[in-house]
Amino acid sequence: MTALAAGAQQPSEETLRLARAVYAGRLQAAFQRSPVARIADWIAAGQAPTAESLRAAGLTTRSTDPERVRELRLARKVFVRTWGFSIPCAEAIGVLSRLGPLVEIGAGSGYWTALLRHAGLDAIATDAAATGNIGYGFEAGRFCPVEPLSGHAAVRAHPERDVFCAWPTEGSPWALAAVRAMPVGRRLALIGEPRGGITGTPGLHHFLETRFQLLGALAIPQFPRCADQLSVYQRTR
């Protein structure tokens, strides 16, 4: 039963405050026990563990242990509210390092670009919202300076750079507008879910399937119930 029974007392403000504090403590504890607890160190060092080691620690959508899944779902809330949506790994840094100079679009907190820069890559971060809390919990531009540019404006402003985009907004056309602005020959590294998932739009998938060549895909670590992977495309027409 979730609703209060008729005549039952509403919890006091103090009870609610205590309940929120207990929940926040549980989230933090789950995060500290999780395999992503050292993400701040990864970013500072420009290095991350291998995908295989992170998957072995439970960071895969195939994880079936219910207790581990529950813990990692709690840890994910802290991860997303502080950093963002996808989990870096050594192989992803390697794939991105083989592209040209990068412009990240929709960069959010800027944690990926910060990590890539510390790994020695030439990368710049852009987002339509470059500062402040934009509704996901994380602070835009917290980990590196973010140029205030929409996706397609960023691609147009940096035509010589390959494009990196992680978790384009579900149901929003901005990422499609951005890839439409990419010149033939430019490469796109995209972290997102397959068609039907919770990133991007069907139109984005269709445009990539018809105007780009898929050069390769990398299985990155995933939080339970997330199906994101890193795909690299090249615009062909």
Ligand X SMILES: C[S@@+](CC[C@H](N)C(=O)[O-])C[C@H]1O[C@@H](n2cnc3c(N)ncnc32)[C@H](O)[C@@H]1O
CA distance 60 to 38: 18
3-state class percentages of the chain: helix first, strand second, coil last, to nearest 5: 40, 15, 45
Spatial separation of the C-alpha atoms in residues 8 and 50, rounded to whole Å: 52
CB of 216 to ligand X, least distance (A): 20
Residue 187 and residue 100 in contact, taking contact as beta carbons nearer than 8 Å: yes
**How many whole angstroms separate alpha carbon 119 and alpha carbon 80?**
22
Give the shortest CB-169-to-ligand X separation in angstroms: 5
For residue 108, what are its two tokens?
Answer: 């959010």
Among 167, 207, 212, 233, binds ligand X (CB under 6 A): 167
- The single residue among 86, 113, 222, 229 that binds ligand X, judged by CB under 6 A, is 86
Indicate whether 134 belongs to the interface with ligand X (CB under 6 A).
yes
Residue 7 beta carbon to ligand X: minimum distance, rounded to whole angstroms: 43
Note the residue count of the chain.
Answer: 237
Parallel, antiparallel or unpaired: strands 229-235 and 212-218:
antiparallel
Residue of 84, 192, 200, 221 interacting with ligand X (CB under 6 A):
84
Does residue 106 bind ligand X (CB under 6 A)?
Answer: yes
Q: Which of 93, 102, 144, 166 binds ligand X (CB under 6 A)?
A: 166
* By CB under 6 A, residue 150 contacts ligand X: yes
- Site residues for ligand X per CB under 6 A: 84-86, 105-108, 127-129, 134, 136, 150-151, 166-167, 169, 174
